[in-house]
A and B are shown apart, each in its own frame.
Chain A
Amino acid sequence: MNRLLVVFLTLLVSSVFAHTNEHANLGERASSIKASGKVFHGSISIIRKMHPEFLRHKRDKTLRQGVRTDEHSLKGCVSCHANKNKTNNQYHSVDKKDQFCSNCHQQVGVSLDCFSCHRTTPKKGSL
């Protein structure tokens, strides 16, 4: 009985740690911000859960009302979370396999439609 309990607890603890692990592909600028100790997103769990709502809310405000702030802008997400290809110094698209956005979206099986229109790499010279 005790042995079962130990197995159960180990599984429970490991599953918790599995979810708090580092993002494999955080992106170039986001990694440097994180390394510098600055906090960009107040709560990671909130941004993970709520980012579609934030983006949807922001897109309407920007397009329909002309509110152009940096908060919750998709441009902002891409500019921090895009990775660079070390060999040719070009950015990987955030929606390509194993990059920041697609990494989770593939895992949870949610299609990602932002980038059929939006630019997938930071603008040249924006970093």
Chain B
Amino acid sequence: MSKTLNRRDFIKTTSATTIGVATIVSGITLTTFANANKMPVTNEKRWGMLIDTNKLTEADIDGMVSACQQEQGWGSELHSTGNQKPGWIKKLKVRDKATGKISNLALMCQHCEQPPCVDVCPTNASMKRKDGIVLVDRHLCIGCRYCMMACPYDARSFVHETLSNQKEHMPRGKGTVEACTMCVHKVDKGEAPACVASVNSDAVIFGDLYDASSKINQTLKTIQSAQIRADLNLNTGVRYSGI
């Protein structure tokens, strides 16, 4: 007994299968896209930065600072004076005593693996995400500023005045400590931090230190690089070459 498939039945079954497959496939792609920020970050990644001080010009550093100010909305405080002014990223001149060689560094939170600011925080507000980004949870910060004293890089600032019109992604307020967030809101979207994006050359590389195929990992394997105050064994996420 043989059953022949007529034209009408064939069209019906094929179209039904196509629609079915298409629905499932689109469902899968949709969930993969949606999952990007639904899952907690893991320690399979460690975000880091490599700054080549030979390639980085002073103008580049100024550009990085203003890109940071624009992105995060700091630097226009009216009542803070002198040391009260926040500085998430700063330009630093280092002179070699023997040769007199001057290098310009962009210095910000170094996103240590063993951050002293986290060790000293009495309220657990100073914290490190699993992917290595060190942040201040301002919900818990009581403004004691121990972390500012503990940080060997002077990377943190304290907000001394009432603020308004903050950036939507970067809440900031009087009485809390703040620092470079490695533009965590951008990194979570798969973008590079604002300061990295502002430099046109490859003087600043951002990426996953653990990923063997990433540019930063490969460059760090081939060139000589240093951590600032490597003697403290903090294993910083921000590395420098040319110093």
Contact A64 B137 (CB under 8 A): yes
Contact B41 A66 (CB under 8 A): yes
Q: Given A65-B129, A67-B39 in contact, is the A118-B166 Cβ separation under 8 Å?
A: yes
* Tally of contact residues, A, Cβ under 8 A: 19
Q: Which residues of A contact B166 (CB under 8 A)?
A: 117-119
Contact of A63 among B137, B173, B174, B176 (CB under 8 A): B137
A61 to B41, CA, bound (A): 10
Contact B41 A65 (CB under 8 A): yes
Q: Which residues of B contact A118 (CB under 8 A)?
A: 166, 171
* Overall SS of chain B's interface: loop
* Overall SS of chain A's interface: loop
A9 to B165, CA, bound (A): 49
Contact A119 B40 (CB under 8 A): no
Question: Would you give the shortest CB distance from B124 to chain A, in whole angstroms?
Answer: 10
Judge if A45 is at the interface, Cβ distance under 8 Å: no
Question: Would you give the shortest CB distance from B18 to chain A, in whole angstroms?
Answer: 32
Q: Given A117-B166, A118-B171, A119-B166 in contact, is the A63-B40 Cβ separation under 8 Å?
A: no
Contact B174 A66 (CB under 8 A): no
Contact of A64 among B37, B127, B164, B169 (CB under 8 A): B127
A122 to B168, CA, bound (A): 8
Judge if B62 is at the interface, Cβ distance under 8 Å: no
Contact of B171 among A66, A69, A117 (CB under 8 A): A117
Question: Would you give the shortest CB distance from B97 to chain A, in whole angstroms?
Answer: 42
Q: Which residues of B contact A75 (CB under 8 A)?
A: 168-169
Contact of A66 among B131, B137, B163, B167 (CB under 8 A): B131
Contact A119 B188 (CB under 8 A): no
Contact A120 B127 (CB under 8 A): no
Q: Which residues of B contact A117 (CB under 8 A)?
A: 138, 163, 166, 171-173, 176
With A67-B37, A116-B162, A117-B138 known, 17 other A-B pairs at CB within 8 A are A64-B137, A65-B40, A66-B37, A67-B38, A68-B185, A68-B189, A69-B38, A116-B174, A117-B163, A117-B166, A117-B172, A119-B166, A119-B167, A119-B168, A119-B171, A123-B167, A123-B168
A-B contact list, 29 entries, CB within 8 Å: A63-B139, A64-B127, A64-B137, A65-B40, A65-B41, A65-B130, A66-B37, A66-B40, A66-B129, A66-B131, A66-B184, A67-B37, A67-B40, A68-B188, A69-B37, A69-B38, A75-B168, A75-B169, A117-B138, A117-B163, A117-B171, A117-B172, A117-B176, A119-B165, A119-B167, A119-B171, A120-B164, A121-B165, A123-B168
What residues make up the interface of A, taking CB atoms closer than 8 Å to B? 59, 61, 63-69, 75, 116-123, 126
